[in-house]
Amino acid sequence: MNNLQSAFKAPTPALFGYIALGISFGFLFVKMGLPWWLAPIMSLVVYAGAAQFIALTLLANHAGLLQILGATFLVNLRHIFYGLSFLGKFPKNGLQKLYMVFGLTDEAYSILSAQKHYNSQKAFLIILLAHSYWIIGSLIGAVLGASIPFDLHFLAFALTALFVVLAVELCLLKKRYTTLGMAVIAVIVGLTVFPSQMLIASLAIATLLMLLVYPWSKDHEH
């Protein structure tokens, strides 16, 4: 019971961000002429956040399955590094471990990393709740989209804003100011020098900076 109560409190930011963005996704899903009930099913099975919006864009442009799979893989490639840092902490139970690997999104990773005392069962519940919020948001958005002529494009910023807040809070909590600075530099360089490939360029620059600077910074001591 303590784990459940604590888990409900931990992903509160994800509650608002995931439900808001899920509503936007469900709404756009229906407006593309797709059945409303497929939106929550996609969020249940795929659960890829921004990649789900990319998949909708590709579907609208009649892209093939391989193109959609390739784009989703590239966008979510960063999750491999998230999982590596938690492999030794996830429960031994096979199915539970597989689900936690599947559900370790950007926001879930930030929330789990900020926990002062790691508990595998609490971590499982946090991931499960965050996933549930995304599904609920998708369902609400799909129902609204099917019944109400209303534009929800303004909610598209919610996921980015949520992750930025969680990342900054985590860096401040852990006092990893150098890490935060390197991330900002990587994004600025990516936007100005490689605007068409901003995401890949920023990730590459951030990785290079971490390899060169992080071992010698004070962040390495925390």
Percent of the chain whose predicted confidence (pLDDT) is above 90: 13
Per-residue tokens: 132: 């549930």
The pLDDT of residue 41: 95
Tens of pLDDT, residue by residue over 127-172, are 998 899 999 999 998 998 888 776 655 555 655 666 677 677 667 7
CA distance 141 to 187: 31
Cβ-contact 30, 36 below 8 angstroms: yes
Say whether pTM exceeds 0.75: no
DSSP 3-state helix, strand, coil percentages of the chain (rounded to 5)? 80, 0, 20
Burial of 101 (C-beta count, 10 Å sphere; 0-12/13-18/19+): middle
Cβ-contact 24, 156 below 8 angstroms: yes
- Residues with pLDDT less than 50, the chain: none
The pLDDT of residue 36: 92
The pLDDT of residue 162: 62
The pLDDT of residue 9: 72
